[in-house]
C-alpha cells in the first residue's frame, strides 16, 4: 500500500492560532472598540516635581571636605596583586604618594575573592592578614567586591579607592568626590584628588 500523502495545509493546521481582531479595528462596533488615546493637557498651575539625586554635604565646590590625613584607603583585590608584581610595599608606597599617614582598609569581599583565587595568590592573602590592615565587615549576599566598594563610597565620602581595574575606575569616576589610587610606572598614583590636600601633580 502507498503512503498517505498529507497536504501542506493539513500539516500546518494544528500549529495555526486563532487570529484575534485588534480592539482598534474599524470593523468592530463602536461599543466594543478601544477608546482613542488622548494626551492629557498639562495644567499650567500644577507644580512640576523633579527627582534630583541628593548630593553629599561633604562636597563643597566639588572638593571633598571629608578627605584628610590620615587617609582611609579601600583596597581592591587586583591592587594587591599588582603591588606584589611591581614589588611595592603598600604602606610605604601609599605614604610616598600622598605625603601623609594612610590606613588601608580590606572588606570581607576582597578577602573572600583572594581566598577563592587559591594557592597562586597566597602571598597576597598573607600580606592582607597583616594587623596594620583594617578589616571592614560586609553584611550583603555574595562576595563581588566591585559592587561592595561602590556601595561603600556612595554612602561614605571619606574613602580613597585603590584599584587597577579599568571597569571599576570607570564606575567610580561617575561618583563625585571620590579619588582613585592606581599603579602607574612602578609607583602609586592618584587621580581626582583636590590640590588643597597636597596631592602630587601627575
Tens-place pLDDT, residues 104-121: 999 999 999 999 988 888
Q: What is the pTM of this model?
A: 0.68
Instruction: Give the pLDDT confidence of 121-153 residue by residue, as tens digits.
Output: 899 999 988 999 999 998 888 778 899 999 999
CB distance 149 to 168 below 8 Å: yes
Decide if 97 contacts 73 (C-beta within 8 A): no
* CATH of segment(s) 68-195: 3.40.50.1010
Handedness of CA 93, 96, 97, 101 (dihedral sign): positive
Domain boundaries, the chain: 68-195
Please report the pLDDT score of residue 92 as a whole number.
93
Q: Decide if pLDDT at 196 tops 50.
A: no
Q: What is the pLDDT of residues 12-35, one digit of tens each?
A: 565 666 677 777 777 877 777 777
pLDDT tens by residue, 73-106: 999 999 999 999 999 999 999 999 888 899 999 9
Amino acid at each position: 500500500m502507498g503512503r498517505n500523502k498529507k497536504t501542506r495545509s493539513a500539516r500546518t493546521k494544528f500549529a495555526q492560532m486563532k487570529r484575534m481582531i485588534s480592539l482598534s479595528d474599524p470593523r468592530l462596533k463602536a461599543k466594543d472598540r478601544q477608546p482613542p488615546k488622548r494626551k492629557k493637557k498639562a495644567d499650567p498651575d500644577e507644580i512640576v516635581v523633579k527627582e534630583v539625586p541628593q548630593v553629599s554635604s561633604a562636597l563643597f565646590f566639588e572638593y571633598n571636605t571629608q578627605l584628610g590625613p590620615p587617609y582611609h584607603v579601600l583596597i581592591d583585590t587586583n591592587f594587591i596583586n599588582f603591588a606584589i608584581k611591581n614589588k611595592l610595599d603598600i604602606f610605604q608606597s601609599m605614604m610616598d604618594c600622598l605625603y601623609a599617614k594612610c590606613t588601608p582598609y580590606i572588606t570581607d569581599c576582597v578577602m573572600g575573592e583572594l581566598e577563592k583565587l587559591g594557592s597562586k595568590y597566597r602571598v597576597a592573602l598573607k600580606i592582607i592578614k597583616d594587623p596594620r590592615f583594617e578589616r571592614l565587615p560586609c553584611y550583603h549576599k555574595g562576595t563581588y567586591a566591585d559592587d561592595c566598594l561602590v556601595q561603600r563610597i556612595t554612602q561614605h565620602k571619606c574613602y580613597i579607592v585603590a584599584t587597577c581595574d579599568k571597569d571599576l575606575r570607570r564606575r567610580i569616576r561617575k561618583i563625585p568626590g571620590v579619588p582613585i589610587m592606581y599603579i602607574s610606572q612602578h609607583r602609586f598614583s592618584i587621580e581626582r584628588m583636590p590640590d588643597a590636600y597636597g596631592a602630587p601633580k601627575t
